[in-house]
Structure 1
Amino acid sequence: MSEFHVPVVDISPYVAGGTAAERATVAAAVDAACREVGFIQITGHGIAPAAAAGLAGAIDDFFALPLETKKRWLRPAAENRGYTAPKSETLALSLGVQSETRMKDFFEAFNVGSAASDYPEAALLAEHYAENTWPEVDGFRDRVDAWRTEAGRVARTMVGIFEDALELAPGTIAGLARHPIEVLRMNNYALPDGTTVELDEDFIGMGEHTDYGIVTILWADRAKGLQVLHGGEWHDVSPADGALLINLGDLTTRLTNEQWLSTLHRVKPPIHVVDGIGTIQRRRSAAYFFDGDAEATVGPLPGFIDERHPRVYRDVTVDEHIHAKLRGSRAGVVNTDAAREADRVLNAAR
C-alpha cells in the first residue's frame, strides 16, 4: 500500500466560539480533506470522554449476551431498528457490485434512531422513522441516548462547516435536515471466546460500501479493521486517541456533483490464522448516520455544474435513495442506481 493519512482537523472554533478567521481555517481544511480523501479525523468536538466510555460500556453489555437472547430484539429489515445477527447483510449489494445475494458480512449490530414520535407535528414517511426497541440491559438506553444526542450535535456542527467550506448560504444543507432520518448503528466484530472460523474468500467483517446520507460520525476502537479506498488501493484507518472519524455520504456527493466524494470503505477484522483456522480480534464501532429528511429532494446544486463539471446525478428524494441502498444491504436486492460508486469498487486493487 502507498502512504496514506486521514487528515486531522480541530473543529473547536465551531464548537467553542472561535473567531471568523479561525473558523475559515477549519472550513478550508475540511474542504481540502473532502476533496482529497473524503474521510476526516476531528478533534475539539466537545464530547466528554465519559460519554464515549458510557457508549462503549453499553455496547459491551449488549453484545456479551448470548446470541439467542439478542435475537429477541430482531426487527423486520425494512424498519432498520433493533438487532442484526451475523451474516444477515451484505453491504456490497447496496452498491450493486456483487452478483451473489447470499448474506455474508460477519458483523452484528444494534440500531436505534429518530422516530415519528420525535416529530409529532410533521407528516413523516413512517418507514424511516420507526419507533425504537430497547433491550433489557441496565442503563443501555440512557448511555446510548447520551451519545446519540452528542453525535447529533456534532453532525449539525459538521453541516455548518460544510456550508462554509463550500461557500453555500447558511441553511442550504441544514434545510434538508429539519427532521432527519438519523440512525446510530453499534457494531461488533467478534466470535465467542474460544471459537474459530474456517476462512474462505467470502469472509469479511463488513463489505465495501459508501454511507448513504449527508455525513457520518464514527466512534471506533483503535483496533485495525477499517479500510478506506483511496488511489485505487485499500488503506487501514484507525482513529487518533480521542478523535472521531467523519466520512461523507452519498447525498453530499450528489449535492456537490462529485466535487466531494462519499468514501468507499469496508471492514476486515484482524484475524490470527493457524493451519487455515482463524480467530478474530474483537473490534467495536458506532456510526451515527445523519441522512436528511425523507421527503427532501437532493441533486447537484447549481454552483457545482459547469463545463468542467457536467451534471452526473439525477435528482432523487432521500426516501428513494435510502430505500434502494437498504434493499441491497438488508434485503439482498441489488441496487442498480449506484453505478458510479460500483465502478470505483470494481476498479480498486483487491
Structure 2
Amino acid sequence: MTFVVPVVDISPYVTGTGDRAAVAAAMDAACREVGFVQVVGHGVDPALARGLGAAMDAFFALPPERKAAWRTAPEVNRGYSPPRSESLSLSLGVESASRMNDFFEAFNVGAAQSDYPHAPGLPQPDYAENTWPDVPGFRGAVEAWFAEAARVARALTRVFADALGLPVDFFDRMTGHSLDVLRMNNYALPPGSVELDGELTGMGEHTDYGIVTVLWADQVPGLQILAPDGGWRDVSPADGALLVNLGDVTTRLTNERWRSTLHRVKPPVVDGTVLRRRSAAFFHDGDVDAVVSVLPGCLAPGEDPKYLPVTVGEHVAAKLRGSRAGVVNTAADREAARVLAARG
C-alpha cells in the first residue's frame, strides 16, 4: 500500500502573506502523527532541481577510480563515499547483517568555517572546507541548490517555532553557525559494481541527526518510512513537493511530541538490475556547541525528560562514528528499540 504523507503549503512563511496560524497547526499535526511532510509553496525554482540532477549525473557517471580521488577520511563529512563504505543502521546502535552494507554512493558538501567569518575558531573537521570535483558546472549547480535548501530549512524552523509556541527567533539562536550538509545519493551503479541479492540495502534504517531535513528525490520507489502502525510504508514525493522530515535534535527538544521518523531505502530491483534512483538531502543540524535539552513547554505536569542534555556536536559525532566509521552508537537506545521492533 502507498503511505500518505501530509502536504503542507508553507507559502505564507515564504511570501509573507497568508494564514500562518493555519500552516503552523497543519505542521504540528503532521509532525505529531507522521514526522514526514510533503512541503509545497516553498518557492524553489524547478530549474535549480534540474541543474542539481544534471550535476549529480555528471559526477556519478565518472569511473570509480576518478570518484575515489575525492574520498575523505570517515571523520570528515565531505567528499565521496563509495558503495558499501557506510552503514546507517549503526548510527542507531543496530547491527546490520554486513557491518558496512549500504548500497548507495554519495557526495557530501557542507557549511565550512569560511562560511561563518563571524564565528572564528570553529572546530574541525565539523566545519571542514569542501572538496570540489573537476566536473564542469558541478560546483555552481550544487551551491545554488544548497543555498535554496538552506532558505527552505530556515523558513521551516519559523513554522516550527510557531507550531511549538516558541519565540519566532528560537531556532535562529541555535543555528548561527549551523552544521549544514548536503548529501547527494545515487543508487544506480554500473553492472558488476555490487552483488545483487535479497538482502540488498540501499540505505539502512536510520533517523536523521539534526533539526530538519529537506529532501529532493526522484519519483522512483525505494524510500520507506516506519508508520505509526509499525509497518514500513513507501513514500514518493508529489509533483513539485520537497519531502521534509524531522531530525533527532527536534525529537529531543520536544520530548518526542514530534518524532524523528525512522526511514530506509530499499532500491527496486527488476530482472537483476537496480532501477535508477537519486536523492539529495539537506541536513540543517544546528550549531556544534548548541545545547539540546527538552523544552519545558513539551513536558506535561509530572513528566520527566526522556533525554539528557547534549550538544549538537556530541550527538552528531556519535551518529557519524556509527554510519561512517562502523562504531556502534550506544547512545541511541530509544531509536534502536524502534528499529528492532520493526524488524520483529
Query: 1:304: how far off?
Result: 1.2
Which amino acid in 2 is paired with 1:10?
D
Partner of 2:20: 23
Partner of 2:259: 261
Partner of 1:140: 138
Distance 2:319 2:48 in 1: 30
Partner of 1:126: 124
Partner of 1:332: 326
Query: 1:102: how far off?
Result: 2.5
User: Do 1:101 and 1:333's aligned partners in 2 also have CA atoms closer than 8 Å?
Assistant: no
Distance 2:133 2:327 in 1: 29
User: Do 1:233 and 1:349's aligned partners in 2 also have CA atoms closer than 8 Å?
Assistant: no
- Tell me the percent identity: 63
Q: Secondary structure at the match of 2:178?
A: coil
Query: 1:193: how far off?
Result: 5.0
1:84 to 71, 81, 86: 81
Q: Residues 195 and 95 from structure 1, CA distance in 2 versus in 1: closer, same or farther, beyond 3 angstroms?
A: closer
User: Do 2:87 and 2:96's aligned partners in 1 also have CA atoms closer than 8 Å?
Assistant: no
1:280 aligns with 2:274: yes
Which amino acid in 1 is paired with 2:240?
G
Query: 1:194: how far off?
Result: 7.9
Matches within 5 A, 1:108-127: 108-122=105-119, 123-127=121-125
Partner of 1:232: 230
2:218 to 216, 221, 233: 221
1:155 to 153, 156, 181: 153
Which amino acid in 1 is paired with 2:182?
L
Q: Secondary structure at the match of 1:219?
A: strand
Q: Secondary structure at the match of 2:287?
A: coil
Partner of 1:34: 31
**How large is the RMSD of aligned CA atoms in angstroms?**
1.5
Query: 1:197: how far off?
Result: 3.0
Q: Residues 195 and 127 from structure 1, CA distance in 2 versus in 1: closer, same or farther, beyond 3 angstroms?
A: closer
Q: Secondary structure at the match of 1:228?
A: strand
Q: Residues 117 and 99 from structure 1, CA distance in 2 versus in 1: closer, same or farther, beyond 3 angstroms?
A: same
Which amino acid in 2 is paired with 1:171?
D
Normalising to structure 2: TM-score of the pair? 0.96
1:211 aligns with 2:205: no
Corresponding pairs, count: 342
Query: 1:171: how far off?
Result: 1.7
Query: 1:189: how far off?
Result: 0.3
Matches within 5 A, 1:174-185: 174-185=172-183
User: Do 1:107 and 1:206's aligned partners in 2 also have CA atoms closer than 8 Å?
Assistant: yes
Which amino acid in 1 is paired with 2:3?
F
**Consecutive unaligned residues in structure 1, runs of 5 or more:** none
User: Do 1:234 and 1:349's aligned partners in 2 also have CA atoms closer than 8 Å?
Assistant: no
Q: Secondary structure at the match of 1:242?
A: coil
Which amino acid in 1 is paired with 2:234?
D
Distance 2:315 2:50 in 1: 34
Which amino acid in 1 is paired with 2:26?
A
Distance 1:148 1:234 in 2: 30
